[in-house]
Amino acid sequence: MKLLRLILIFIIFPSLLFAQIPATEVRAVWLTTNWGLDWPAQGTSVQSQKEQLCRILDQLQEANFNTVLFQTRAQGRVFYKSKIEPLSPFFNHGNNFDPLAFAVEECHKRGIECHAWVIAFPMEKATVKYTGKGKRKKSTVVQDKPSYYKSVGNTWYLDPGRPETRNLIVSLVKEIVSNYDVDGIHFDYIRYPSNTRKFPDEDTYQKYGNGQNIYDWRRDNINTLISETYDAIKSIKKWVQVSSSPLGRYKVLPDVSPNDGWTAYETVFQDAGYWMKNDKHDLVFPMMYYREHNFYPFLDDWVSNSNGRIVVPGLGVYQMDEQSWPLQDITDQMKYIRDKNVKGAAYFRTGNILSNLKGVMDSIRAYYATPAKLPPLTWLNNVAPNSPVNLQVYKDNHHLNIKWDAPDEEEDFTYTIYASPIESVDTDKGGNILVTGLRTNSYSFPVRDGEFGYYYTVTASDRYHNESVIAFPAFFSHSLNEQ
């Protein structure tokens, strides 16, 4: 139905209607698996859980999303076949089900990228034992974990200052990238835990601090981990994107919020600007779950610190539920992002979007009325592939069929099909995109007859999102008199 609807849009409205919709834009969601918040429903069969995920992805595809941040590790439990950590209890383990493999496959079928969302430092809840006699009992955290685990608020937390922590996380991301066709590794909670700036790492600091200020040392601990994971990932597959979701406010902005007590840099020791400026990040998804003066100037600050990397602000859709925000808070932020030519937006979380909370999905459908390509990762590779060849366009059984040959059989491409009323097809106009992210060399869709015609063409994009020039366009008249 989506394809037919898009063709009808082309027929009824001229392409200029969509002139303001970017052809290139990240449109992402966080898909939460821990506790089954977005997926899967608990106590259901493997087949049912697969069907649930397919329905979710169908709806995201229909709304022209192009990126899913799929929660792959949380609390030291994983949603894939790991030799390092145990499986999460929040999915059905029957029939050798591998959620990450299934999610990647199904996302790619729908032209959506799948990034493995890895929660870095928080682990499982700490167990408790009781001491004392009679009625006087005192609960204490059981100290049966390795020395690089710390107890924070009755939760185990990996100590970022310990080499063992870095070794564990590096090994996990290498395992994922080596064994799965993920498009990215996305880090969350890669920070110290609270706004108190307190953490029980005195012993670690004494051993590894080397006379450095403790706050600078903590930032360096995370910087080192980011650098090591980035280099490890790129050594396996250079095209796999590395990103994170730091706190939404990077640093204190004295003219805006001089007493800010909840920033990435000062409070939890995340120096994401440093990661981008030192070529150790490809994207950043700051959790900008704030309004008004706590959103707009801080987004501008992220962009100014991006070093040309991709900034994708995370919008707190859930706040319309938890904090009773009006829908306009979200739609105003969406408009600001596009007006400022920021490279896209991400939404937390999928369930809030698909439930159409306060009409947010309706707004997104209107805002994302046409598909969008993903921004090229030119700092990794800036050489575009050759164009597809042997383009064919023909009608069969009320379907228009488009076929082509790959420019190089040895490479892994995705394809974008364009439809334009003029032969000089503008690939920077969102309204000309019929479909993008295709991983096949053919496409078929139901089409109506009428007194109109379009030039159809196709481009190839590599894993870095570098796009070829168009194949020689083929004109197709939809008039019955010319068929």
Distance of CA 99 to CAs 93, 105, 269, 392, Å? 9, 10, 32, 37
Q: Considering the chain, what percentage of its residues have pLDDT values greater than 70?
A: 93
In which band, very low, low, confident or very high, does the pLDDT at 143 lie, cut at 50, 70 and 90?
confident
The pLDDT of residue 133 is above 80: no
Nearest-angstrom CA–CA distance, 299 and 311: 9
Nearest-angstrom CA–CA distance, 108 and 115: 11
pLDDT score, position 3: 44
Distance of CA 323 to CAs 295, 296, 318, 337, 363, Å? 16, 19, 8, 22, 20
Phi, psi for 372 (deg, rounded to 5): -140, 140
Encoded tokens for 245 = 């979701």
The pLDDT of residue 82 is above 50: yes
- What is the CA angle 309-313-315, rounded to 5? 165
Residue 184 pairs in a beta bridge with 115, 241
Tell me the per-residue pLDDT of 364-403, one tens digit each, with 9 for 90 and over. 999 999 999 999 999 999 999 999 999 999 999 889 999 9
The pLDDT of residue 192 is above 90: yes
Rg over CA atoms, the chain? 24
Please give the residue that has the higher pLDDT: either 154 or 14. 154
Nearest-angstrom CA–CA distance, 183 and 15: 31
In which band, very low, low, confident or very high, does the pLDDT at 482 lie, cut at 50, 70 and 90?
low
Do residues 220 and 212 touch, judged by C-beta distance below 8 A?
yes
> Which range, of 10-24, 87-101, 260-274, averages the lowest pLDDT?
10-24
Encoded tokens for 414 = 């995705």
In which band, very low, low, confident or very high, does the pLDDT at 11 lie, cut at 50, 70 and 90?
very low
User: 154: how many CB neighbours lie within 10 A of its CB?
Assistant: 11
For residue 40, cis peptide bond before it (omega within 30 degrees of 0): yes
Q: Quick one: which of 65, 69, 61, 56 has its CA closest to 26?
A: 65
Tell me the per-residue pLDDT of 332-358, one tens digit each, with 9 for 90 and over. 999 999 999 999 999 999 999 999 999
Nearest-angstrom CA–CA distance, 357 and 386: 44
Q: Quick one: which of 414, 446, 418, 432 has its CA closest to 369?
A: 432
pLDDT score, position 14: 39
Encoded tokens for 302 = 């992220």
Chain mean position to CA 402: 30
Sheet of 453-461, strands arranged across: 433-438, 414-420, 453-461, 474-477
Please give the residue that has the higher pLDDT: either 448 or 134. 448
Please report the DSSP string for 63-106 in residue order: TT--EEEEEEEETTEESS--SSSPBPTTS--GGG--HHHHHHHH
Nearest-angstrom CA–CA distance, 191 and 157: 10
Average pLDDT over residues 275-300: 98
Tell me the per-residue pLDDT of 202-247, one tens digit each, with 9 for 90 and over. 999 999 999 999 999 999 999 999 999 999 999 999 999 999 999 9
Do residues 373 and 433 touch, judged by C-beta distance below 8 A?
yes
**8-state DSSP, 193:** S
- Does pTM top 0.85 for this prediction? yes
pLDDT score, position 210: 94
Q: In 3-state terms, what secondary structure has residue 466? A: coil
**Topology of 18-125+161-367 in CATH?**
TIM Barrel (3.20.20)
Could you tell me where in the chain the CATH 2.60.40.10 domains are found?
389-482
In which band, very low, low, confident or very high, does the pLDDT at 317 lie, cut at 50, 70 and 90?
very high
Query: With respect to CATH, is domain 389-482 assigned 2.60.40.10?
Result: yes
Give the helix/strand (H/E) hosting 265.
helix 264-267
pLDDT score, position 8: 43
Could you tell me where in the chain the CATH 3.20.20.80 domains are found?
18-125+161-367
